[in-house]
Amino acid sequence: MHAWTEVGQPLRLQEFEPDKRTKKGKKKDPDPTALCCYGLLRDDTQQMLLRFVQGRAVSHVTTAYLEWVCQLMAEEGKRVLVLIWDNASWHISREVMGWIRAHNRAVLADRREGRVGVQLIPCFLPSKSPWLNSIEPKWVHGKRAVVEPAAKLSAQVLAQRICDYYGSDHLEYLKQHVS
């Protein structure tokens, strides 16, 4: 990581202790302990399409993200979106694969009637091969650019820094449905 430090001292990120809970067991800090963000790196524009999640990455949130991306691409007149994916459980789940198949069938039916839609083609990378995915270096550089070595950032501040770094709008969070 590149940063200014005292002469002869390496930069070290501090790991903060989790906030103590109240006597009734509730968290004092309302912020989540982790921030989940979906991102798509467009090969044509090098733009990142980001959406944060209230909760964590799960199948129904993935399909909501894909639906949003497909709407954006359709508005631009795109016909196909190739997804270069790792084997994360929220990418390869039965629910997501079924949604993609149903979506693609609907797109092909719409095309026969003259409507525009974006077909999704998922291409899965071999396990443990992040260097094959061009978004991975972007994530690494982004994490380094927004980090605050000696301070704990709120989720809102961190999300805004990420959006600013990537030149992305800070949109409404996708919601995880908890049953």
pLDDT at 36 over 50: yes
Per-residue confidence (pLDDT) for residue 2, from 0 to 100: 47
**pLDDT value at position 88?**
86
Instruction: Give residue 57's region: left, alpha or beta (phi > 0; psi -120 to 50).
Output: beta
Structural domains for the chain: 36-175 (3.30.420)
Residue 179 pLDDT exceeds 50: yes
Instruction: Identify the pLDDT of residue 5.
Output: 62
Backbone phi, psi, residue 39, to 5°: -145, 145
Q: Is the pLDDT of residue 76 over 90?
A: yes
Asked if the model's pLDDT at residue 157 lies above 50, the reply is: yes
Q: pTM for the full model?
A: 0.81
